[in-house]
Amino acid sequence: MATYAVGDIQGCYIEFRQLLEQMRFDPAQDRLWLVGDLVNRGPGSLEVLRLARSLGDSAITVLGNHDLHLLAVAEGAAEPGRSDTLDEVLNAPDRDELLAWLRAQRMLYAEDKHVLVHAGLLPGWSVAKAQQLAREVETALHGPQYRKFLAHMYGNHPDHWDDGLAGYKRLRVITNAFTRMRICTLQGGMEFKFKGEAQNVPAGYLPWFDVPGRASADAVVIFGHWSALGLKVDRRIIALDTGCLWGGPLTAIRLEDRKLFQVSCNNPVAKDW
């Protein structure tokens, strides 16, 4: 049995299938950890969702910002973006089943010394704290009032954590950290516009995983979201968004021995930022 973590797929269905074949993934024995952003921008979001759902308990998925965006658009809580490629999903005959499956996925998954999350953990959050906060968002997303959560999900403020936060402000900060964060201040203040390379982080900010004294540093955090960061593997983090959508490879890592697997992009999309 092996566990494979896979970077942002974003609708790159052909590459996803090729990667599974290269890994010789066996759903009867192996497990797949998906870092989120299964959908959008690429041409095969519908097929990716169908395949991920078909894997059942052999695949663990955490939600990314594009996955949440799909749910929000489907419920009328957000307008489609000009670069979205979600129509196939929204018009599919199995749309409701796929969206219900997606909404039921996790915000964070922790096992042994590994943590799977789409974007990151605020530096003040231990793994146990992050698990607790993830459950708060999951409760809102999985419950009967999930449409209200999606309607209040968007926004950049508050941009830092406070234990006294309540209601949708609290849920928004948690969601933003798990699905949108790349950089923050030493105090955990988040900035969401920056998408560039790590050496170009604006003054006063650091990659979230480089903040000294990070409370989750005793675990290996596996994440995606930051394509300009690229592949980064060390004792504390495994960053897997290698920008397949933009012409880079789609990347997976086998956690037991950290062997890498990659397939080339078939049809890169032009960046719009």
What residue spans define the domains of the chain?
3-263
pLDDT at 266: 80
pLDDT digits (tens, 9 = 90+) for 243-268: 999 999 999 999 999 999 999 988 66
Q: What is the rounded CA–CA span in Å between residue 13 and residue 11?
A: 5
Tokens of 22: 């290269």
pLDDT at 273: 40
DSSP string, 261-272: EEE--SSPPPP-
pLDDT digits (tens, 9 = 90+) for 197-238: 999 999 999 999 999 999 999 999 999 999 999 999 999 999
User: What pTM value is reported for the model?
Assistant: 0.96
Reference 174, options 202, 140, 198, 211; nearest CA is 140
Q: What is the rounded CA–CA span in Å between residue 215 and residue 212?
A: 9
DSSP conformation class of 248 = S
pLDDT digits (tens, 9 = 90+) for 87-130: 999 999 999 999 999 999 999 999 999 999 999 999 999 999 99
Q: In degrees rounded to 5, what are phi and psi of residue 8?
A: -55, 125
pLDDT digits (tens, 9 = 90+) for 41-68: 999 999 999 999 999 999 999 999 999 9
Residue type, 216: S
**In Å, how far are 86, 141, 183, 269 from 80, measured between CA atoms?**
8, 20, 26, 18
The CATH number assigned to the domain with range 3-263 reads 3.60.21.10
